[in-house]
């Protein structure tokens, strides 16, 4: 099952890689189908640069948004906090599992000198 999952990840990874590279190459290619040399002027080059945002400026005066940004912003914050809390929960459960294993090994006399209360910050030495 895990090998299948890995194979799927691997294949989709490189599929996206090849497809994305083709898309980027297609977008970057000059739109010149006549066989003549590219004749892009400085004005055209500036237009391409201007199509990308290069500065953020603060709003002045009352304005009404066409697409409500509030729900999008709220969703983004929810995603961030849910992912962070979910990961912390995962770390907590992993810590608890390790602590249980250490207790069990301690009871069998295999892990001497282990402090169960500080597994999270434990360091390992040989």
Partner 1 sequence: MSTIRSVSVWPWRVAVVFTALLFLVALRAIFIVAPVEAQMGIVQKIFYFHVPSAYAMYVGFFACAVGSAGYLLRAGATEARRRAWDAWAVAGAEVGLLFCAIVLLTGPLWARKAWGVWWTWDPRLTTTLLAGMIFAAYLALRSFGVAGEAEKRFAAGLALVGIADLPVIHYSVQRWRGQHPTVISGRGGGLEPDMLVALGWNFAAFTLLVGLLLWLRASLEQTRQVVLGLELRRFETSEFGQNLTSQEGL
Q: Which two tokens stand for residue 13?
A: 């990874």
Tell me how far apart the alpha carbons of residues 22 and 27 are, in angstroms, rounded to a whole number.
9
Query: Does residue 85 bind partner 1 (CB under 8 A)?
Result: no
User: What 3-state class would DSSP assign to 111?
Assistant: coil
Rule CB under 8 A: is residue 98 a binding residue for partner 1? yes
Alpha-carbon distance values, 100 to 4, 61, 109, 112 (Å): 31, 60, 14, 15
**Which residues contact partner 1 (rule: CB under 8 A)?**
2-3, 5-6, 9-10, 12-13, 16-17, 20, 23-24, 27-28, 48-49, 51-60, 63, 65, 67, 69-70, 72-73, 75-76, 79-80, 83-84, 87, 91, 94-95, 98, 101-102, 105, 108, 110-115, 117-126
């Amino acid at each position: 099952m895990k090998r299948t999952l890995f194979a799927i990840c691997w294949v989709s990874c490189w599929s996206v890689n090849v497809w994305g590279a083709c898309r980027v190459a297609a977008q970057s290619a000059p739109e010149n189908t006549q066989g003549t040399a590219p004749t892009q002027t400085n004005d055209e080059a500036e237009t391409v640069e201007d199509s990308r945002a290069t500065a953020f400026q603060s709003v002045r005066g009352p304005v009404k948004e066409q697409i409500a940004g509030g729900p999008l912003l709220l969703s983004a914050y929810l995603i961030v906090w849910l992912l962070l809390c979910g990961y912390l929960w995962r770390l907590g459960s992993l810590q608890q599992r390790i602590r249980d294993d250490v207790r069990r090994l301690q009871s069998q006399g295999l892990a001497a000198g282990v402090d169960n209360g500080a597994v999270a910050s434990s360091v390992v030495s040989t």
